[in-house]
Amino acid sequence: MKKTKVTITREKRTRDYIPEGFISFSDEDAEGIIQPYNDALVISVLINKSHVKRILIDPGSSANFIRWKVVDQLGLLEQILPPARVLNGFNMACETTKGEITLLVNTAGIVQHTNFYVIDGEMRYKALFGRPWVHNMRAVPSTLNQMLKFLTLERIKSVCEEQPVAKEMFAVEEATPAPKSPAPKDAKDLNKGKSTK
């Protein structure tokens, strides 16, 4: 019997093949950031060819959200698919969506169809990009460097923050304590100096 050794080499591929590479951040990436800071990562992108600011990048969110008002301004209300969902926040507060919509999102020249839940309510951001978007982009967000980086076929691309917008959106205001009224006097103190007959 004759034995033949066969070696099979498989290349690791994903949906859109991206060559292996390293994404790293350096001190140079943080140049120009207003110090001190503790800001969320807020960027702007093109959504259906319209420039939209105040996009919050939140890898802690399991979904992407967009405000009803933004969809209305884009003139795309008729594209919202009706099934509403009830979403629970980290504080267990419930929010009912108005439906879902798929929009073209252009981030630094990379265009993707992105699914959003449409929310009607007052929020400081116009859209929130959660893990679905971050993972599809194969992006690495850094709040420390206020930057988002991702690999493309040609090179590593980066999207810089909008730090002044983030500071405005998430400003923490100091509450001034109300002046304290004097503590009520003890009943014994009230009776001091009064003569009883």
Q: Residue 166's domain is classified under what CATH number?
A: 2.40.70.10
With respect to residue 65, please indicate whether it lies within any of the assigned structural domains: yes
Number of compact structural domains in the chain: 1
* Region 60-71 average pLDDT: 94
Whether 197 shows a pLDDT value over 50: the answer reads no
With respect to residue 148, please indicate whether it lies within any of the assigned structural domains: yes
With respect to residue 40, please indicate whether it lies within any of the assigned structural domains: yes
Q: Does the global pTM surpass 0.75?
A: no
Whether 23 shows a pLDDT value over 80: the answer reads yes
> What is the residue range of 58's domain?
29-173
With respect to residue 102, please indicate whether it lies within any of the assigned structural domains: yes
Residue-level pLDDT at 56: 93
What secondary structure letter does DSSP report for 36? S
Is 128 within 8 Å of 119 (Cβ atoms)?
no
3-state secondary structure of 197: coil
pLDDT cut 90: percent of the chain above it: 40
Residue-level pLDDT at 10: 43
With respect to residue 169, please indicate whether it lies within any of the assigned structural domains: yes
Residue-level pLDDT at 24: 87
Whether 157 shows a pLDDT value over 50: the answer reads yes
